A and B are shown apart, each in its own frame.
Chain A
């Protein structure tokens, strides 16, 4: 091995293709779907379905297996790097629309992380079919966010029918409506099999679209990412077959292994949200520089700070933040591809990505004055879209906590 920053060829090829999708399928409808919240962007969805069918992907957040050379030798694993690059480019197009990309999403990521081979066969095939299908993850409740040991949704085993009975209300389910009501999708629901057991009782359950007792009750009105649905889901005596539990069904088993399995999903997906943040930030900085160039403002590199204009210092600072954030993402997913433990790097990339995209979009709107604040440009939209990157998949603060525990060698009990 040696230190290398050459973009792998398959990623360069993928970038070329997805840039077209970003420019011609996303940007032209960005404003429309921002202004028509709750309208499903079917043209985009069907287009992406075709793209994915062609490339053989399932639209999940789990990487494809490495390809083999003609002589059967496994090529280097770059699955997570491919995914991060995809998310970056599609979010550069439009992050709200990107979240509507058909496929398993976080739902299949959870099944990949904690499911048995049988469960993977049973649940994941639908995402490779001809029709668009969606997957979602339902964790958050009114009283439980990042502290998911506070989950109150219950799963009780009905021994007579050998079914789990789910009861509770989930909120902030990204893509919840499309997963449950549009096509043959699924939602992975987190619930407790023993409310007294705390974390040890937390399991996740696959609830397929059309299951009686699972219902979308509300679609949130949001600051940004309006093209993407954020649903409340009520589970009322919702029955799922016994084998829909991910992880061990043993109530007696008071370990947190099941919980940790579910949490492992996040080590893999956090850098991907970092990548998405970088995509929005790149779009913003690119547009900002274009706008400045149109007004005759060129950025000079290599000056001492005493000679720079304020705008130059701002832009150069943003470029520094953006590039370093992207490289942190790449490092985190490179580690995942190479099976190196990356909890610290994954959280760092999420912290940096969230920070950078909020700062860049905020500064861009400020620097463009009334033009930036108006809806003529997409800058004000990206300002709104950006903020979610510092919130979902663990807020910036939760991720700082994870980084801190890692560098201090502390466990959860040492640093709360």
Chain B
């Protein structure tokens, strides 16, 4: 039976996240982007909303079941406040969610209570590689089995909080298949480089990482000896990315609408010009279209539907295009003012281009 209504718990969670996004994240967004840093207290406050905790069963310190649908609903609301802040709050999930979905019982018991049970702690994942044709299914970082150890070699980039993370999941190609490996930060052969500088998400600390013959126990392969399926994890990364793109786009459209309804031109509001009004109608339609697509893909993933991987991919590619289109138009609608950093739209536009590249920075 079709329904587009979140359940009661989801509605409550969305409300809480939305309040945090608009009263805590958004006011800090501009300065954080300029200074390249978000106050840790703000990230901790976001963590305390309990999005990840609500997605983790009691046995591992949480109070609910994992749901990609709930994840995308929350991610969109949070990104409406600030993208770098949202990804920061979600960073422990980069480690916890793959462990929860694919980890062995031992891995879950070892790590999840430490992440879920207390304050925000930077656990992370090293996924993206510094190549123009980076392909999640054909990684250049390799893992090979040597006795009872895996040996990992390769380069990663855009690893959130790599400097401070306690543990990371490092994704590497094992016999041509992408697999995750649990790696303790600072292990011999691992080097965290100087912080990445990028077009956007300035307030998110991202780092390149090098792995040279890093040796880890075989038991640290995600899922244990037999490893794990990678497709559902990649699908979840795509969907998280799509949801964050929705949040940023929603913010940009709303800002453009408010501006256009205030700004006078030729004796009327600029919003009363069809040229502008039509742009906004198309932005709104695009956002709504990608939102329902993202919801359906998340629902398919939660329900183990065959085409979930494909649909999540469609949602991701659609969302990347949508975010670019919507944020670009938001800047355009503000005209010269859109280009000035006093207004947030230029920041959203710099983030808007990023979603095509952000797969792996977050997961739902």
Contacts and interface: CB of A to CB of B under 8 A. Distances in A.
Given A3-B6, A324-B292, A414 B272 contact: yes
A4 interface: yes
Contacts of A320: 293, 314-315, 317-318
B266 interface: no
Interface in A117-141: none
A1 B317 contact: no
Contacts of B311: 323
Contacts of B212: none
Given A1-B3, A328-B288, A401 B318 contact: no
A352 B356 CA distance: 23
B244 to A, nearest CB: 18
Interface of A is mostly: helix
B280 A408 contact: yes
Interface in B225-277: 234, 253, 257, 260-261, 271-272, 274, 277
A72 interface: no
Contacts of A407: 253, 257, 280-281, 284
Nearest to B289: A324
Contact of B2 (A81, A319, A323): A81
Interface string B104-142: 000000000000000000000000000011111100000
B314 A334 contact: no
Given A307-B133, A408-B257, A348 B284 contact: yes
Interface stretch (B151-159, B194-202, B294-302): B294-302
B341 interface: no
Interface string A387-416: 000000000010011011101101000111
Given A351-B285, A403-B284, A407-B257, 19 more contacts: A1-B6, A1-B7, A2-B10, A4-B3, A78-B2, A301-B310, A304-B133, A305-B356, A323-B311, A324-B314, A328-B292, A351-B282, A400-B278, A400-B282, A404-B278, A407-B253, A407-B280, A407-B284, A408-B260
Nearest to A402: B281
Given A323-B311, A330-B2, A408-B261, A2 B292 contact: no
B299 A5 contact: yes
A307 B132 CA distance: 10
Nearest to A329: B292
Contact of A400 (B281, B288, B299): B281
A415 B310 CA distance: 40
Contacts, number: 143
Contact of A351 (B3, B281, B314): B281
B313 A348 contact: no
A401 B134 CA distance: 42
Interface string A346-366: 001001100000000000000
A7 B1 CA distance: 6
Interface in A308-326: 316-317, 319-321, 323-325
A408 to B, nearest CB: 5
A4 B5 CA distance: 8
A416 B10 CA distance: 39
Interface string B304-316: 0000011101110
9 contacts: A2-B3, A3-B5, A4-B2, A7-B2, A304-B136, A320-B293, A323-B293, A400-B281, A408-B277
A76 to B, nearest CB: 6
B15 to A, nearest CB: 16
Contact of B135 (A8, A304, A319): A304
B290 interface: yes
B69 interface: yes
Contact of B288 (A1, A348, A414): A348
A56 interface: no
Interface of B: 1-7, 10, 69, 132-137, 234, 253, 257, 260-261, 271-272, 274, 277-278, 280-282, 284-285, 288-290, 292-293, 295-296, 299-300, 309-311, 313-315, 317-318, 356
Contact of A323 (B257, B288, B314): B314
A6 interface: yes
B360 to A, nearest CB: 12
Output the residue of A304, A321, A325 with the most chain B CB within 10 A: A304
Output the residue of A1, A3, A345, A403 with the most chain B CB within 10 A: A3
Contacts of B272: 410, 414-415
B313 A302 contact: yes
B289 A352 contact: yes
B96 to A, nearest CB: 23
A348 B7 CA distance: 25
Contacts of A403: 281, 284-285
Contact of A410 (B271, B285, B288, B295): B271
Contacts of B133: 304, 306-307
Contact of B3 (A3, A301, A352): A3
Contacts of B293: 320, 323-324, 327
Contacts of A1: 3, 5-7
Contacts of A70: none
A142 interface: no
